[in-house]
Amino acid sequence: MLSPWWDRRGWAIPAQANLSGRKDRAGLGGLDEGRMEFCPMPAAQLPRMEMSRAERLEDETLIRLIMQYHDAHVRDLASAAHTAEIVAARHGPESGFPPALPDELARLRETLQAHQLREEAVLFPVILEGRGETLRYPIKALGSEHDDMQDGLERLVRLTGDYAAPAGACATWRALYDLLRKFDGEFREHVRLEERVLFPRFQ
Ligand SMILES: [Fe+2]
Ligand SMILES: [Fe+2]
């Protein structure tokens, strides 16, 4: 046993891990499902922070900023996965809508939720308790999960033709691709904050 949260088999998430708001965030949260059937309404893109400014943030402030991305990812992927199922059911394969997209989004959502749980239940609390120097192995594992999820994003880019809906696409289809483009940008930005600013502090 290397630590209470990491052993030779990998992650050991405490059974009592209780993430505030996670229960709601795991589903559609407060989104209006009826309205979403017509058109998902993405919030504005989170502003990108200059690297030099992010590097000057205290651990706690940086983690709060990263959590804003986590919240946006959960909301946006739940909305996108739901909307993709609706568009796929409404339009046949001849429409050009990628039939594999709903499954790809469901897979990415599941992977992302497991990744966020490890960060929110283990990594961030340990950092905030001042024991970040014990996190070398978990951080390496999280970095490789980022690579896997970025491969998932590349599959989304290929499936959707870089999030470009065809000329005849309906409003819901267009809104879905706009939402996915937002998620893509925010996910890559969140990885940049973790891998280039937060993680190097403890490696
Ligand atoms: Fe994260
Ligand atoms: Fe991460």
pLDDT tens string, the chain, 203 residues long: the values are: 445 556 666 666 655 554 444 544 433 333 333 433 445 666 778 888 888 999 999 999 999 999 999 999 999 999 999 999 999 999 887 889 999 999 999 999 999 999 999 999 999 999 999 988 888 889 999 999 999 999 999 999 999 999 999 998 999 999 999 999 999 999 999 999 999 999 999 98
Q: How many beta carbons lie within 10 A of that of residue 176, not counting itself? A: 29
How far is it, in rounded angstroms, from Cα 70 to Cα 54? 17
**Gap from CA of 83 to ligand 1 centroid (Å):** 24
How far is it, in rounded angstroms, from Cα 74 to Cα 28? 9
**Gap from CA of 193 to ligand 2 centroid (Å):** 9
Q: In this structure, what token pair is assigned to residue 178?
A: 């706009």
How far is it, in rounded angstroms, from Cα 170 to Cα 164? 12
Ligand nearest the Cα atom of residue 72:
1
**Gap from CA of 91 to ligand 2 centroid (Å):** 34
Q: In this structure, what token pair is assigned to residue 62?
A: 């940086």
How far is it, in rounded angstroms, from Cα 203 to Cα 198? 10
Would you say residue 164 lies in a domain?
A: yes
Provide the residue count of the chain.
203
| CA atoms 132, 138, 142, 143: torsion sign | positive
Q: Within the chain, where are the H helices?
A: 22-25, 33-38, 51-55, 59-90, 101-118, 124-128, 136-160, 171-193
Would you say residue 44 lies in a domain?
A: no
Would you say residue 69 lies in a domain?
A: yes
Would you say residue 7 lies in a domain?
A: no
**Gap from CA of 116 to ligand 1 centroid (Å):** 6
Would you say residue 22 lies in a domain?
A: no
Q: What is the pLDDT of residue 134?
A: 87
- What is the per-residue pLDDT across 110-135, written as a single tens digit (0 to 9) for each? 999 999 999 999 999 999 999 888 88
Ligand nearest the Cα atom of residue 74:
1
Instruction: Specify which residues 10 forms β-bridges with.
Output: 7
Would you say residue 4 lies in a domain?
A: no
Would you say residue 145 lies in a domain?
A: yes
Neighbours of ion ligand 2 (CB under 5 A): 194
Q: In this structure, what token pair is assigned to residue 154?
A: 């590349």
Would you say residue 147 lies in a domain?
A: yes
Are the C-beta atoms of residues 80 and 176 closer than 8 Å to each other?
yes
**Burial degree of 49 (CB within 10 A; 0-12, 13-18, 19+):** middle
**Gap from CA of 198 to ligand 1 centroid (Å):** 10
**Gap from CA of 77 to ligand 1 centroid (Å):** 14
Helix (H, G, I), strand (E, B) or coil at 38: helix
**Gap from CA of 146 to ligand 1 centroid (Å):** 9
Q: pTM of the predicted model, to two decimals?
A: 0.82
- The residue range of the domain holding 99 is 51-202
Q: Provide the number of structural domains found in the chain.
A: 1
